[in-house]
């Protein structure tokens, strides 16, 4: 028996909520400070989860189901792109890693918003640091795995027969 669309949306929301709870635990209990790309990935985890929560609450029928599924999929894939960017930065040789930048709050205070966002979305040397691993995978690798699962669940919602 296939799970209902509503159940899948609740599952997507649960994955996103779990990811944010783990991120907050790592930040506040393990003292792992998030870099620019970590913050951007959190934004996409939250947006994917909120879209799924809206879809769960709304329980749409017809084309609206597809719109929600497409929105969660696009959000998850965008977040996956930032995870890939961070994994790429982590794979660079030390001499190729970009310089570390100032804290994000300083960026928004000192620079025009477009410039600050550009720096945030690009990442810096802090994003190349591997702070923690589990089963030989870093945080952005685990985040990429979770984004992939969320994107696949969204694709399944789009492609399944009613």
The whole-number pLDDT of residue 134 equals: 87
* Cross-strand partners of 133: 138
C-alpha distance from residue 80 to each of 45, 72, 87, 101 (Å) = 10, 12, 10, 23
The whole-number pLDDT of residue 157 equals: 92
The whole-number pLDDT of residue 21 equals: 97
pLDDT tens digit at each of 162 positions of the chain? 788 889 999 999 999 999 999 999 999 999 988 888 898 999 999 999 999 999 999 988 889 999 999 999 999 999 999 999 889 888 888 887 777 777 777 777 887 888 878 877 777 777 777 888 889 899 999 999 999 999 999 999 998 876
The whole-number pLDDT of residue 35 equals: 86
The whole-number pLDDT of residue 132 equals: 84
**Euclidean distance between CA atoms 2 and 11, whole angstroms:** 13
**Euclidean distance between CA atoms 59 and 90, whole angstroms:** 40
The whole-number pLDDT of residue 121 equals: 74
The helix-helix angle for 139-159 and 5-28 (nearest 10°) equals 170
Which domains, ranges and CATH numbers included, belong to the chain? 5-159 (1.20.1550.10)
The whole-number pLDDT of residue 162 equals: 62
HSE-up of residue 135 (Cα within 13 Å, Cβ side): 3
């Amino acid at each position: 028996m296939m799970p209902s669309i509503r159940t899948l949306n609740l599952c997507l929301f649960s994955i996103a909520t779990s990811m944010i709870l783990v991120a907050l635990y790592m930040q506040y209990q393990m003292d792992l400070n998030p870099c620019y790309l970590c913050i951007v990935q959190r934004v996409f985890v939250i947006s994917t989860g909120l879209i799924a929560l809206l879809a769960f609450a709304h329980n749409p029928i017809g084309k609206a189901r597809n719109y929600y599924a497409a929105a969660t999929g696009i959000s998850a894939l965008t977040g996956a792109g930032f995870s890939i960017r961070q994994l790429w930065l982590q794979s660079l040789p030390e001499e190729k890693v970009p310089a570390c930048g100032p804290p994000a709050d300083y960026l928004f205070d000192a620079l025009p918003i477009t410039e600050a966002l550009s720096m945030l979305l690009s990442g810096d040397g802090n994003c190349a640091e591997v702070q923690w691993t589990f089963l030989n995978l870093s945080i952005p690798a685990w985040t990429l795995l979770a984004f992939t699962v969320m994107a696949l669940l969204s694709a399944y919602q789009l492609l399944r027969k009613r």
